[in-house]
């Protein structure tokens, strides 16, 4: 029995030595990995200890550790708040609207661009569609406001030319989600199409040659070759988008907000900003942010579990 135990210990020791030798042989790779590891530890994991203020009556003079625990009082206040139902409804509605309307557009654009044979025309289209992505968000909202101006905006000038009455889009609460989503599509479609174009470039050209020999037309080849070829990328991006469904861009929504459209434009991120920074309710805003993160994490796991059926999940 003693011999067996000593053999097991010796075997484990040899295994550890082999692993250590492998680490030494590839130490350059681990050194290259070190800055990224330090970045995530310092800026993503270390700040997590501050989440505890969501369960405390945070007092700045006492610090995080010295502030008294109050349990789930902040969460109860959030769930019982008059604004809770409205901000959740607005957040989900705008996010789902963006996902349903905006997610397929880059896919369609990539499939269309992939079929363009004229390289000069293709480059021009790509440049024109990529450009809005690099515009500052402040400038972008300024452009939107100018374009939708009731008096001199190009959209209302077209409406007047067609015999209609000018519409104050930015002052209408019902129009806010549509303006937000459509302007986002205009700004990000070209940029988001890049990853699909890269995936399409990896499809074996021999599949198209064989399909042409069999008599398949262009539409059939797109449907039966190109689209299935990028389904794994589509699935992964859909999971990631669904996992961030509660995270709308703060800058754009906040800049587009006004008192007239607040009914549909107040979402979780703007509510956190107003309650946390403007009203200095740091514990309450941390609770709202934690609730937001938990919902996102739950949706990510849920959609990933569904995607496992097609074997294209993240994990």
Question: Could you read off the pLDDT of 97-149 as tens digits, one per residue?
Answer: 999 999 999 999 999 999 888 889 989 998 999 999 998 999 999 999 999 99
Q: What is the pLDDT of residue 13?
A: 62
Yes or no: say if 147 and 112 are a contact pair by the CB < 8 Å rule.
Answer: no
Place of tokens 């709202």: 288
Question: Could you read off the pLDDT of 236-247 as tens digits, one per residue?
Answer: 898 888 888 888
Q: What is the mean pLDDT of residues 276-294?
A: 84
Across the chain, mean pLDDT equals 86
List, in order, residues 6 or more apart from 132 with CB less than 8 Å away.
140, 186, 187, 188, 190
Nearest to 182 by CA among 257, 126, 132, 251: 132
Flag whether pLDDT at 59 surpasses 80: yes
Band (pLDDT 50/70/90 cuts) for residue 60 is confident
Whole-model pTM: value is 0.82
Give the whole-number percent of the chain exceeding pLDDT 70.
Answer: 95
Place of tokens 């050209």: 205
Question: Could you read off the pLDDT of 26-42 as tens digits, one per residue?
Answer: 788 888 889 999 999 99
Nearest to 18 by CA among 29, 26, 28, 6: 26
Band (pLDDT 50/70/90 cuts) for residue 183 is very high
Structure tokens at 51: 């989440």
Q: What is the CATH number of domain 73-310?
A: 1.10.3720.10
Q: Where is pLDDT greater, at 215 or 15?
A: 215
Question: Could you read off the pLDDT of 61-89 as tens digits, one per residue?
Answer: 888 888 889 988 989 988 888 888 899 99
Q: What is the pLDDT of residue 9?
A: 52
Q: For the chain, which residues make up each domain, given as ranges?
A: 2-53, 73-310
Q: What is the pLDDT of residue 4?
A: 52
Yes or no: say if 243 and 297 are a contact pair by the CB < 8 Å rule.
Answer: yes
């Amino acid at each position: 029995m003693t011999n067996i135990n000593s053999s097991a210990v010796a075997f484990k020791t040899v295994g550890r030595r082999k692993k250590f030798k492998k680490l030494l042989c590839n130490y350059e790779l681990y050194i290259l990995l070190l800055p990224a590891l330090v970045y995530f530890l310092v800026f993503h994991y270390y700040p997590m200890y501050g989440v505890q203020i969501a369960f405390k009556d945070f007092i700045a003079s006492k610090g995080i550790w010295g502030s008294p625990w109050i349990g789930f009082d902040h969460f109860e206040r959030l769930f019982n708040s008059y604004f809770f139902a409205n901000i959740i409804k607005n957040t989900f509605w705008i996010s789902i609207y963006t996902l349903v309307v905006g997610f397929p557009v880059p896919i369609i654009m990539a499939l269309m661009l992939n079929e363009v044979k004229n390289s000069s025309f293709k480059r021009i289209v790509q440049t024109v569609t990529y450009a809005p992505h690099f515009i500052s968000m402040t400038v972008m909202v300024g452009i939107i406001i100018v374009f939708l101006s009731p008096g001199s905006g190009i959209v209302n000038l077209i409406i007047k030319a067609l015999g209609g009455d000018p519409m104050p889009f930015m002052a209408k609460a019902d129009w806010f989600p549509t303006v937000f989503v459509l302007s986002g599509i205009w700004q990000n479609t070209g940029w988001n199409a890049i990853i699909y174009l890269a995936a399409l470039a990896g499809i074996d050209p021999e599949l198209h040659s064989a399909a042409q020999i069999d008599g398949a037309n262009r539409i059939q080849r797109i449907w039966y070759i190109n689209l299935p070829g990028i389904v794994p990328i589509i699935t992964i991006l859909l999971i990631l988008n669904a996992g961030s469904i509660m995270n709308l861009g703060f800058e754009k929504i906040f800049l587009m907000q006004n008192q007239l459209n607040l009914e549909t434009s107040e979402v979780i991120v703007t509510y956190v900003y107003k309650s946390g920074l403007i009203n200095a309710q740091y514990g309450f805003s941390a609770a709202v942010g934690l609730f937001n993160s938990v919902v996102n994490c739950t949706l990510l796991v849920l959609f990933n579990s569904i995607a496992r059926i097609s074997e294209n999940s993240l994990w």
